[in-house]
Structure 1
Amino acid sequence: MKKMLVSVVSRVLSGIAAQKPASRVLVGSCNYSKQATFEIKKCDLYRLEEGPPASTELTREDGLKYYRMMQTVRRMELKADQLYKQKFIRGFCHLCDGQEACCVGLEAGIKSTDHVITSYRAHGICLTRGISVRAILAELTGRKGGCAKGKGGSMHMYAKNFYGGNGIVGAQGQLFEVYNMAALWKLPCIFICENNRYGMGTSVERAAASTDYYKRGNFIPGLRVDGMDILCVREATKFATNYCRSGNGPILMELQTYRYHGHSMSDPGVSYRSREEIQDVRRKSDPIMLLKDRMVNNELASVDEFKEIDGEVKKEIEDAAHFAVTDQEPTLEELGHHIYSTSPSFEIRGTNQWIKFKSIS
């Protein structure tokens, strides 16, 4: 009798252990809508007769993908903030948390074969262009496992059809044209201005007589887009790419967005704007919350499902951060590599304190 009782209890406990977590059971039992239609803010137009649509469809699959990507960008930037304060990351560090809808929406509106060049504050675009969190954080901490072997930092991360960030303001436009002409691509060009309302510590209202940046192309048509809404960014990008691919020439897009951090890690971000202003934007216009609320309210996903994604993203970031602080730094011999396209047989002064510099005749 005792053995039978033990056997029954054992089977019951085994069945409980084999059950899925409550959140997974709930997610699996829900009947979700496959897609929903949303009204989006109209874009302001310049030298255009028509613009992007005022409504768009969002599928459940795309919505979850966008949410995961934006949440990954957000948590990655917050982890970079922590690593910088712990002095694992040195030098310049410009974070893009708050602007996640811009990079994710841009990628949703173009093709993987399209070419992208950007300015600084580029970590989010690096991720959407295919560089892993692990490779990005390791690059920021200067480790061998970084996407540029720890030698480039924020400004020199590259992926297929992505040509890195540029520290000089506005340099990406000229660099694109150099690439374009050198490769004889003759590609259509979309100039994108991410207007986060401040140039370093100066508000746009104090810096410019006219803040209609989407009109600054003069003879180039322009769009002013809600850069906090991923669906607005996606539809505007699709419109702009179709416009350019149809042979209409270049177009300028101004994405009105907001950064939660200061200009860089050396800027607390609250000397020229109030904490209340930042909190107000977070409460009313946070791009991640806007997408999440839309999907929940239209039965595209559940709160528990988003919590599950959040947990998975958090683990991915923590694993990547652990690698970024434990991986080896590049050797002194490695630091002089890739300065030249060929590998000249001479050492470069200063890269290795134990070798004697050899002059070049």
Structure 2
Amino acid sequence: MEEKVLLRAYRTMRTIRAFEERLHTEFATGDIPGFVHLYAGEEASATGVCMHLDDDRDAIASTHRGHGHCIAKNVDVKAMMAEIYGRTTGSCHGKGGSMHIADLAKGMLGANGIVGGGPPLICGAALAAKQRGDGGVAVAFFGDGGSNQGTTLESLNLATVWQLPAVFVAENNGYAEATAASWSVGGGSIAARASAFGMPGVTVDGFDFFAVHEAAGEAVERARSGAGPTLIEVQLTRYYGHFEGDQQTYRATEVQEARAHLDCLKRFRARVTESAELTAPELDAVDAEVARLIDEAVAEAKAAPEPTRADLETDVYISYGIPH
């Protein structure tokens, strides 16, 4: 892998980590409205998949835990931070918040508060790409909880029936909120379900960027070539609770083990420095650049204006005649 590609991958993962860890701190101040679900620990998944995608022809649909997917799909970090703070400079003008960040210009169809809401959307996006004939691919990210939703299963079936250029990425972090996937996923494997729908299914180590990148590359190329959809199960661990404020009484030491021995950023850094593909100073420079970016994003978000009463009547399909 070329040096510039490796640096891009590291920068994306580091940006996601820094963004989420800063939100963890900022949310505790009470200045951020609504709920926040953090993606820290899962960076290799979004990054490994989205590095194969273009802004113009490829689309993704996300989940309530969508910040990492947005950053990996090149949504502006400062606009994202402003959106989470509910400011007019946000990517959705402060009206969506954490769970509804979207940027159609980047092919980011939106984070989604509905479990299993993304797969049907990417079937539509994939069908549009197929009709256009531009080689576009659509990717749905969903969790182990979303894998059990009828919307997801119907989408897997439809994608095969229509031979859509689609990739379904099940991010199995072990818990659907507090329900263990080991109990709730029938058969014990999300990837194994692919055979029931006539598509390839593969399980990958979500702590290993290179493993995710390779599996995603094969799936995206298969979709672009007209060979149909693929299901990828990425096994990983989220570092924080289901949402900010979750006491996590349902799990004990696994997060500490993951941070100490499996962390995707540590593994990436060790591999590329040991192979001399990148140097520690190069990676340190990225860390510093990202830290400055996040500082700027928070400062600008806090200084930005909030939506006004007049903004209630914008970005809607119908004017409801709200009195002034």
TM-score by length of 1: 0.75
Contact kept in structure 1, 2:17 and 2:43, CA below 8 Å:
yes
Contact kept in structure 2, 1:110 and 1:237, CA below 8 Å:
no
Question: What is the DSSP-based 3-state SS (H/G/I as helix, E as strand, rest coil) of the residue aligned with 1:223?
Answer: strand
Counterparts of 2:115 and 2:258, CA distance in 1 = 25
The answer as to 2:102 corresponding to 1:158 is: yes
Counterparts of 1:59 and 1:198, CA distance in 2 = 36
Structure 1 residues 320-341: Cα deviation after superposition (integer angstroms, max 9, x where no partner): 101111211011110221111x
Deviates more, 1:134-143 or 1:298-307: 298-307
Contact kept in structure 2, 1:109 and 1:235, CA below 8 Å:
no
Counterparts of 1:179 and 1:297, CA distance in 2 = 41
Two-structure CA RMSD over aligned residues (Å): 1.9
Matches within 5 A, 1:266-285: 266-269=245-248, 271-274=249-252, 276-285=253-262
Contact kept in structure 1, 2:204 and 2:211, CA below 8 Å:
yes
Number of residues paired by the alignment?
A: 288
Counterparts of 2:273 and 2:265, CA distance in 1 = 12
Distance 1:182 1:233, change over 3 A: closer
Counterparts of 2:53 and 2:202, CA distance in 1 = 16
The residue aligned with 2:222 is: 243
The residue aligned with 1:173 is: 119
Counterparts of 2:185 and 2:229, CA distance in 1 = 24
Contact kept in structure 1, 2:202 and 2:233, CA below 8 Å:
yes
Deviation of 1:176 after TM superposition, in Å, equals 2.3
The residue aligned with 1:332 is: 309
Gaps of 5+ in 2: 133-161
The answer as to 2:42 corresponding to 1:96 is: no
The answer as to 2:190 corresponding to 1:213 is: yes
Deviation of 1:135 after TM superposition, in Å, equals 0.7
The residue aligned with 1:359 is: none
Distance 1:304 1:155, change over 3 A: same
Question: What is the DSSP-based 3-state SS (H/G/I as helix, E as strand, rest coil) of the residue aligned with 1:116?
Answer: strand
Counterparts of 1:254 and 1:117, CA distance in 2 = 16
Deviation of 1:243 after TM superposition, in Å, equals 1.7
The residue aligned with 1:252 is: 231
Deviation of 1:180 after TM superposition, in Å, equals 4.8
Counterparts of 1:298 and 1:216, CA distance in 2 = 37
The residue aligned with 1:81 is: 24
Deviation of 1:179 after TM superposition, in Å, equals 4.4
Report the residue type matching 1:204 in the other structure.
A
Deviation of 1:100 after TM superposition, in Å, equals 0.4
Matches within 5 A, 1:1-361: 58-112=1-55, 113-159=57-103, 160=105, 161-180=107-126, 184=131, 187-217=164-194, 218-219=196-197, 220-269=199-248, 271-274=249-252, 276-340=253-317, 344=319, 347-348=321-322, 355=324
Contact kept in structure 2, 1:119 and 1:172, CA below 8 Å:
yes
Deviation of 1:181 after TM superposition, in Å, equals 5.2
Question: What is the DSSP-based 3-state SS (H/G/I as helix, E as strand, rest coil) of the residue aligned with 2:247?
Answer: coil
Deviation of 1:244 after TM superposition, in Å, equals 2.1
Deviation of 1:182 after TM superposition, in Å, equals 6.9
TM-score by length of 2: 0.84
Report the residue type matching 1:154 in the other structure.
S
Deviation of 1:255 after TM superposition, in Å, equals 0.8
Contact kept in structure 1, 2:178 and 2:250, CA below 8 Å:
yes
Deviates more, 1:183-192 or 1:105-114: 183-192
Counterparts of 1:179 and 1:348, CA distance in 2 = 34
Counterparts of 1:107 and 1:182, CA distance in 2 = 19
Gaps of 5+ in 1: 1-57, 350-354, 356-361
